[in-house]
Amino acid sequence: MSVFISPKEIIYPSNKLSLTMILLNEWSFVYAEGSDAQRYLQNQLTIDINLLKKTNHTLCAHCNFNGKVWTTMRLFHYDKGYGYIQRTSISKTQIKELKKYSIFSKIRIYKLDHIYLIGIAGLNARLFLLDFFETIPDQNSPVVHECKKTILWFSKPSERFLLVLPLSDFLFFKKSINKKIFLNDSRQWTALDIEAGFPIIDEKCSKKFTPQAINLDKLEAISFKKGCYYGQETIARIFFKNLNKYYLCYLIGMGKIFPEINSFIEIKLEKKWYKIGVLLAIVHVNSQEMLIQVVLYKPVNINDSFRIRGFENVFFMKTI
């Protein structure tokens, strides 16, 4: 009999996370197939898709002509084409933009609604999965395909796994669980992504940042050697002329507030508050603690104090 223990909607940081099954209900799975899929995606995305191994997955971005990020995505080989995972809020718009110039290419791009995205994280996550799958991905082979099931391996902020399962396999997997495991929603995966430094781009922050502004160059999610792709000229100019003045980081604060995504981040300098960045994501952890992912306009130090505009009594500090 399956045993799920409700976490009472508490989200935990990675160093305090018990074995947890996470329903990624705020993420979508998109599939691109066809004889021109590789060539077409090569001309659209920031990475060199020709170098993507079938045993690996990669973070990358889809940008507009001005070099601003439509979305970030987790891309990998899937079935006879490519699959990628992105935030649901931007998925419909992004698919429409990606398909815009595909009329003369043999490619189909569409969301797979029958696919379930499940995160497995926390204490003994690998041992747990060994009861269900013959092979578990690792550093040497971060993607494993088993029949119609796919497992992605992540090392940050601690070892965790993302399962890509058709509905029938998901129901069988859930029914077969005979160990105690916490059940949580997308906020737990978001918290882990914030800790890992993976940018979270929802609809409200789409088309606002270049890839370098959200650290995609540091995350090896940009190729500066392949041919042209949308936004490439702007992205390359920023790189070769060292023009980027922004960077992604996360801050920690105490309290329970609910600001809008894309709110301004302010910093206190000599008793005055100045705008210094933008809010990308927020997750409440451990009941009273908050993690926020932000894009800042200039470097800051560990002793600086921050707040979100409109919430003057709640303060945040930069992590080490």
Question: Which amino acids are annotated as binding site, given as ranges?
Answer: 27, 189
Q: How many residues does the chain have?
A: 320
Give the torsion sign (CA, 136, 222, 22, 125): positive
Among 43, 42, 41, 44, residue whose Cα is nearest residue 31? 41
Taking the C-alpha atoms of residue 78 and residue 85, their distance in angstroms, rounded to an integer, is: 11
Residue type, 135: T
Q: Would you list which residues are annotated within the binding site for folate?
A: 27, 189
Cα distances from 7 to residues 85, 183, 185, in angstroms, run 26, 7, 10
Token pair in block for residue 268 = 């206190």
Please report which helix (H) or strand (E) contains residue 56, including its range.
Answer: none
Beta-bridge partners for 76: 57, 83
Residue 171 makes CB contacts below 8 A (sequence gap 6+) with none
How is 116-146 classified by DSSP, letter by letter?
Answer: EEEEEESTTHHHHHTTT-S----SS--EEEE
Taking the C-alpha atoms of residue 80 and residue 137, their distance in angstroms, rounded to an integer, is: 20
Task: Label the pairing between strands 20-23 and 180-184.
Answer: parallel
